[in-house]
Structure 1
Amino acid sequence: MAHLHSPYTLKGLELKNRIVMAPMCQYSVEAQDGIPNDWHFVHYVSRAVGGTGLIIMEMTDVEPDGRISNRDLGLWSDEHIPAFERIISEVHKYGSKIGIQIAHAGRKAEDAEVPVAPSAIPVTPDWKTPKALSTEEVEELVSKFRDAARRAVAAGVDTIEIHGAHGYLIHQFHSPLCNQREDKYGQDYAAFGVEVIEAMKEEMPADMPLIMRVSAMEYMDGGYEIDHIIEVCRKYKAAGVDLFHVSSGGEGPAGVRKPGNYPGYQVEMARQIKQAIDVPVIAVGLLDEPKLAEATLEDSEIDLIAIGRGMLRDPYWALHAIQATSDQGVPPKQYLRA
């Protein structure tokens, strides 16, 4: 059996294969208005033509100052919906499914005059010191995540991913290094994320799965271990997350412990989360050698594999990987003669 090429169903999401395009910022918005342009259209539709089962559009933010840079995508206005809808509709023509990763950069919002965070702690002394959000401001952000989910659904997405990894705002609330609050959002590291999940689920169709991306561990000295995020994920599953996309790090410069940075170095983290809370998982991290991707699905209890930089190098990675691991990869008819 060719695992990469096998279909996968989760609630109402039916994928033709197990290959996910990981969300990767393009920093290509031209007018700083957060609206996708022709670059984004070609970028995502190319990966659909290339056979990807599920495309997750890049980090798309719930307010202008929630972006890493002013050239990032946003969903803070209904004016954003038509441009996303155009991309999603075209992707569907090639048999791929597509979602949007909804996020807020928090203290890593580099172009914000004053970024915000759970606590007034910068990434490093060289970064801007963020403003600590009040309890009321955190609650307002929950509403902004809700509104972004409504707009994503209106644009026609098949799924939504919440970005709770890589040192951005929701991850900052997870992290004892970043979250030193005394209110309810500091007493429970999952509280903000749970409220976001519950709010977004109210805007999503009942059969649409919700994905949460998490960092399974941190690399700064004193960062949390995987047991910490397993307990956070347990609460997220109860709140309505259907699938976890498991990465690691991103909260700040690595200390004594470094990322593995070898093919498949995060797969074990995804497997541990799956075993601990009995939930489907996406593994990611240097899995772009097709036989390794195939073996990961076969041997590691992994449900889906995500490819990031490999798909930047090759828009047709999915087709080529399926051809390399089975005889079932069929290109678009326009390309058959090649």
Structure 2
Amino acid sequence: MIPSSSAARATDVLVRPVSLGSLTVRNRIAMAPMTREFSPGGVPGADVAEYYARRAAGGVGLIISEGTYVGHASAGTSDRVPRFHGEDALAGWAGVADAVHRAGGAIVPQLWHVGMARAVGAPPVPEAPRVGPSGVPLDDSEPGRTMTRADLDEVISAFAAGAAAAEANGFDGIELHGAHGYLIDQFLWAHTNRRTDAYGGDAVSRTRFAAEIVAACRRAVAPDFPIIFRMSQWKMGDYRARLAETPQELEAVLDPLAEAGVDAFHCSTRRYWLPEFDGSDLNLAGWAKKLTGRATISVGSVGLDNEFLKTFQGQESGVADIDGLLDRLERDEFDLVAVGRALLGDPEWATKILNGRTDELTPFGTEALARLH
């Protein structure tokens, strides 16, 4: 149960609008991107539109879609994850955007390339190779192919085409998936990027590929069309991984991205309340905002009292108070908060929080996983 005093404060703090480029988000609550495999053939249908529209109608200000594959043969690893290319898929996504707008929300697609996370022989293009900056996997799986200059250009063009398609099909911006050990992040991370050309070496050089993607997307859309960049220190299967050990190292990664045209950084952490570096209470989103001056989105177990993996072990999440979150928002440590599992368990989580109906919140449990997978 969230105390009534917290509920009243949440209404004041979270209801404030915020601007990202040309977009004004009606409140400080975003829906975090969560991979689902409910798009056969990569085409989102009416059920996907209903899924997102229900959260927008439930008070979410900004919907960030599940990851959606860009138009490159090696981008994906499932034929049920949606793609963001091809007339059929884009028509489906236009329907999603329209449904979210009619429900009062804003929406951006998350554009995604999995890189070395692709399974060998997996759909949607079974014959496509696994590719990465150096062909180095994140785990003990077999190596892949090191990307050539032509490969880099093709992927950059695919992201830019996705950005242009988002604007043409009524979306309010885009998010680039540069987190969790997928392709863009594989370039950022020294463990998977062992190149000796201009795209490898020090932190600034490892950021070059990501910055060129951002710049290409910026050229493909209107100057004030929002570009969000999702980043993380941790990787899938390696929670101890870090891009930066100090604020100065983090600044070396983020500055080229901000200069290339990023409007907001979406900083993925497992627990939003943990400080990122010694000597400061700022979390990762707080540091990103301080270092770049750009808007930031924080995420990580918001409103819940355990972690995602605990749910797979049969442990239901309880409803946790959000006083610490409100403290950080009141002092403008970051600008928005992304909510994931809590919105799966309760599509009306946002409107209940914003209207003081916290006694009606539904916990996230194993039943809610059916809405994700």
TM-score, normalization: structure 1?
Answer: 0.86
Among the aligned pairs, what percent are the same residue? 31
SS in 2 for 1:185: coil
1:79-115, Cα deviation, whole Å (9 max, x unpaired): 3221111110111112211100101000112326531
- 2:292 and 2:63 mapped to 1: Cα distance? 25
1:211 alignment partner in structure 2:
228
Alpha-carbon contact 2:50-2:99 (below 8 Å) kept:
no
2:100 alignment partner in structure 1:
91
> Which of these residues, 183, 189, 198, is aligned with residue 175 of structure 1?
189
1:282 and 2:289 are equivalent in the alignment = no
2:338 alignment partner in structure 1:
306
SS in 1 for 2:215: helix
2:311 alignment partner in structure 1:
none
Deviation at 1:216, TM superposition (A): 3.6
Deviation at 1:220, TM superposition (A): 6.1
Deviation at 1:7, TM superposition (A): 1.1
2:353 alignment partner in structure 1:
321
Task: Write the letter of the residue equivalent to 1:197.
Answer: V
SS in 1 for 2:200: helix
- 2:287 and 2:255 mapped to 1: Cα distance? 12
2:38 alignment partner in structure 1:
28
Q: Mark the runs of 5 or more structure 2 residues left unpaired by the alignment.
A: 1-8, 276-281, 304-319, 359-373
> Which of these residues, 107, 123, 137, is aligned with residue 122 of structure 1?
137
Alignment of 1:125-274 (within 5 A): 125=140, 127-187=141-201, 188-216=205-233, 219=238, 223-227=242-246, 228-248=249-269, 261-262=270-271, 264-265=273-274, 268-274=283-289
- 1:4 and 1:72 mapped to 2: Cα distance? 32
2:85 alignment partner in structure 1:
76
Deviation at 1:302, TM superposition (A): 1.3
Deviation at 1:314, TM superposition (A): 1.0
Task: Write the letter of the residue equivalent to 1:275.
Answer: K
SS in 2 for 1:163: strand
Task: Write the letter of the residue equivalent to 1:210.
Answer: I
1:19 alignment partner in structure 2:
29
Deviation at 1:64, TM superposition (A): 4.6
Q: CA RMSD in A?
A: 2.1
Deviation at 1:44, TM superposition (A): 0.5
1:270-312, Cα deviation, whole Å (9 max, x unpaired): 1112112222110000112463443331145211100011111
Q: Mark the runs of 5 or more structure 1 residues left unpaired by the alignment.
A: 249-260, 327-338
Deviation at 1:11, TM superposition (A): 2.4
Task: Write the letter of the residue equivalent to 1:146.
Answer: A
Q: Quickly say closer, same or farther: Cα 1:291–1:10, change in 2 above 3 A.
A: same
> Which of these residues, 322, 325, 330, is aligned with residue 291 of structure 1?
322
Aligned length: 311
Task: Write the letter of the residue equivalent to 1:13.
Answer: L
Q: Quickly say closer, same or farther: Cα 1:325–1:205, change in 2 above 3 A.
A: farther
Alpha-carbon contact 1:216-1:226 (below 8 Å) kept:
no
